[in-house]
A and B are shown apart, each in its own frame.
Chain A
Amino acid sequence: MKKGILINISVVLILGFCGLALALDYPTRPITLQVPWPAGGSTDTGARILASIAEKKIGQPIVVINKVGAGSQVGLTETARQKPDGYYLGFVSVPALNTIILDPERKALFDLDSFVAIINQVIDPGLIWVKADSPYKTLKDVIEDAKKRPGEIRASTTGILGDDHLAILMMEEAANVKFRIVHFDGGAHQLTATLGGQVDVSFDNVGSVMPRVKGGQLRGLAVMDKNRSKFLPDVPTTVELGYPTVISSSSRGVLGPKGIPAPILKKIQDVFLEAMKSPEHIEKMEKAGLAIVPMIGEEYAKYLRAVHERCKPLVEKARLAK
């Protein structure tokens, strides 16, 4: 036994020194930044903007790749499995990360402890929207109709157990209604289906549909936040409309496999934070309708744990509803 401990200690020490040695000249080769959602979506957009600015500062290319599947589970599994040397980082969407872990049916091969929280980039509040020629003019119209025809109004999400799905569950509880929930594979399919009249009302995020709301193709009914979005100042919030419990957002940030040596971690965090604060990043994100909310290290980890706790009862509810 003692021998085992000794070996362990020496292994830890050696690894620690290796880490230090690496940190001295990190990075020496390109860094992979994996996005678990399709190219062209809003997580992908944010990741590519960040990577293009950060790579100039870190001195090595940051290659953005997409590992799509199962509401980001495929990509997260991949990130958790990587060697923690700082050369493979992954984007993450919250609360999708938490619900995948919390739903036993997903048989996730990772949990919160498999990752190290690096930095948060964006918090994008939820938006309830319909197509421009929908009979629903306000959120009130939707709720009234849903009361008249329980379980018949089709409400769509961008994926099962994502933030939009949880938002529908919150709305159902707050307004005491029942929707017929339809899950789509990402925002693009949801958009086409809603425009084609396949569903009645859709739940997504401000950043994903903002340009089309502004362009008049879609109508925003409510932003699921305490304050109005600066990108859609004319759309009321759920709090204003009398549903203070319906607060939902999707946040996106960067995680790494657990065990990245501290000096390397710090370097990544410094570079990414600097990149996020650069005028170029702010301007490009603004254009995409994405609100930048940097949170670093322990602060970000704490936020992830808090979301985790909030999601527990909702995931339970979603599982019961099946």
Chain B
Amino acid sequence: MEALQCWIQGFSVATLPINLLYAFIGCVLGTLIGVLPGLGPAAGTAILIPITFNLDPIGAIIMLAAIYYGAMYGGTITSVLVNVPGEAASVITCLDGYQMAKKGRAGPALGIAAIGSFIGGTFATFALMVVSLPLADFALKFGPPEVFALLVVGLSLVTGLSGRSILAALLMTLFGLMLAMIGMDPVRGAPRFTLGIPPLYDGVGFVPVVMGLFGVGEILLSMESPVVEVIKTKISDLFPKKEEWRVSAAAIGRGTLIGFFLGLIPGVGAIIPTFVAYVVEKKVSKHPEKFGTGVIEGVASPETANNSYANGAMIPLLTLGIPGSPTLAVLMGAFIIHGLTPGPFLFKERPDVVWGLIASFYLGNIILLILNLPLVGFWAKLLEIRYQYLYPGILLFCILGAYSLNQSIFDVGVMVVFGVLGYIFRKIDWPLAPTILALILGPMMERALRTSLEMSGGDLSILVTRPISAVLLIIAVIVLISPAIRLIGQKAGKD
């Protein structure tokens, strides 16, 4: 009964006209970010945080979340029409989506992607609604040692799963943790590594760092890539043929489940579920050889998976306070800026925010379906805007946004420095996700560790003598050493 009350409360918050408006604006901006290549959801959300500053927390969070999952819809459009993914989670869609467009079937490709996304997103939201309350209750039993162990698992998953080189990923994680050390010691309050610079007493600003690494860095890199031609195709008959429906239905079902369950694991990121979905689809298909030539299930399944993932990944964020991907880390930063800390406490303290947000996902998915089906032609038109006009505008917007955070020119400097760093790290292909997650999880980890040690009177064994924390730490160790073992295995094989 308690759950039902929560749901009703959520819908009553989400359907307030002002919150509907925020959800709508978020969906439009999200689709826009998805459509524009070179600007992913992490950068988009980070860049747009400053404009939510004066909104009330619920509206701001609803809007930023809508940008996040809206981008998953929009990314498809560029993948299909230009063969360039609008955001990384739509990379795999290029394979069959673009081929379909070449055959003049762009309409059904985009249509099935939107419908699949809607089904995946809605299912994941429903599951989120059902499991989050018991999970939050369970998480309340976590003491500081368990919280610390859980955060270690989150960070090691991000480290273990991102990029080709575990060493590079580890270094990037440490870089993030070092950045997180700057500022006031969270327990004793003594300033650390501030070099006597007053703005650093507050720590390195999370938002300018993300805007730099993801926003400015991505734009700098995109400016190097050549201009691409848009397929000039009439997008008609968005609805797939009867035959296409039959194969797509099962693909959408599988994509939904794959995306949702991978969403539960922090650190997986939005890209992996789409690849898994595509590979699974190819495996179960009766004609695997046709994949890559424009088969509709090759579009339906991954596109469903990335939306199902997007909403499913909200579960660890909301119930445990652990962001599974850089975009979610940015979203978590937005929560914190608005005075809310995601995690089990939030369910008790601000049920209106949590359930309002969850209910808004349903409405957002409906809004996105409407935006994407009839209006897809409009979004495709946007692709014709020349980048040389677009990018300077976005850069200007970044600078204004970074300044407006605290009216501090220091923050603008931080953003520029991290923009250059982001560009360099992309060039040498070092993953950025670990840095961002470490930056936001670092202070929480430090606090949990130190409180644990206060509880044990300085005895480190408290972390391994409590069963939940011991199991979690073992998982973390396995995650981190398995790539090393693989590496050694490969080397041995060569010899």
Contact = CB atoms under 8 A, between A and B. Distances in A.
Contacts of B203: 69
Nearest to B57: A39
Interface stretch (A114-122, A176-184, A233-241): A176-184
Interface in A1-55: 38-40
A103 B189 CA distance: 10
Interface in A106-148: 106-107, 109
Nearest to B191: A107
B345 A192 contact: yes
Interface stretch (B122-130, B136-144, B159-167, B233-241): B136-144
Interface in A142-201: 151-152, 154, 160-161, 180-185, 188-189, 192-193, 195-199
Given A107-B191, A160-B187, A40 B349 contact: yes
Contacts of A154: 455
Given A40-B339, A160-B187, A188-B345, A182 B140 contact: no
A70 interface: yes
A44 to B, nearest CB: 8
A203 B186 CA distance: 20
Interface string A64-89: 00101111011001000100000000
B187 A183 contact: yes
Contacts of B140: 192, 195-196
Interface in B333-354: 339-341, 344-345, 349-350
A206 interface: no
Nearest to A151: B457
Contacts of B447: 185
A70 B451 contact: no
A70 B202 CA distance: 9
Interface string B55-99: 000000000000000000000000000000000000000000000
B144 A183 contact: no
A70 B349 contact: no
A58 B339 CA distance: 27
A283 interface: no
B184 interface: yes
Nearest to A72: B189
B439 to A, nearest CB: 15
A154 B454 CA distance: 9
A264 B187 CA distance: 37
Contact of B198 (A100, A109, A180): A109
B180 to A, nearest CB: 13
A188 B455 CA distance: 18
B381 interface: no
B451 to A, nearest CB: 6
Interface residues of B, number: 30
Nearest to B455: A182
B385 interface: no
Contacts of B451: 182-184
B339 A66 contact: yes
A21 to B, nearest CB: 25
Contacts of B187: 160, 183
Contact of A73 (B144, B189, B198, B350): B189
Contacts of A100: 189
Contacts of A183: 187, 451, 454
A196 B340 CA distance: 21
A164 B454 CA distance: 16
Contacts of A106: 188-190
B454 A74 contact: no
B44 to A, nearest CB: 26
A38 B337 CA distance: 10
Interface string B140-159: 11111000000000000000
Contact of B186 (A70, A103, A105, A161): A70
A90 to B, nearest CB: 15
Contacts of B344: 192
Contacts of A184: 451
A39 B184 contact: no
B141 A73 contact: no
B65 to A, nearest CB: 19
Contacts of A68: 339
A160 B184 CA distance: 13
A188 B321 CA distance: 15
A74 B142 contact: no
Q: Which of B143, B144, B189 has the most CB of A within 10 A?
A: B189
Given A106-B190, A183-B454, A196 B143 contact: yes
B143 A74 contact: no
Given A74-B201, A180-B454, A196-B140, A160 B188 contact: yes
Interface string B319-342: 000000000000000000001110
A70 B454 contact: no
B336 to A, nearest CB: 9
A70 B144 contact: no
B339 A39 contact: yes
Interface in B156-215: 183-191, 198, 201-203
Given A74-B201, A196-B141, A185 B186 contact: yes
A40 to B, nearest CB: 6
Nearest to A198: B143
Contacts of B349: 40, 188
Nearest to B451: A182
Contact of A180 (B183, B189, B201, B457): B457
B190 A105 contact: yes
5 contacts: A38-B339, A39-B339, A70-B186, A74-B201, A189-B345
4 smallest CB-CB distances across A and B, nearest first, come from: A39-B339, A70-B184, A70-B189, A198-B143
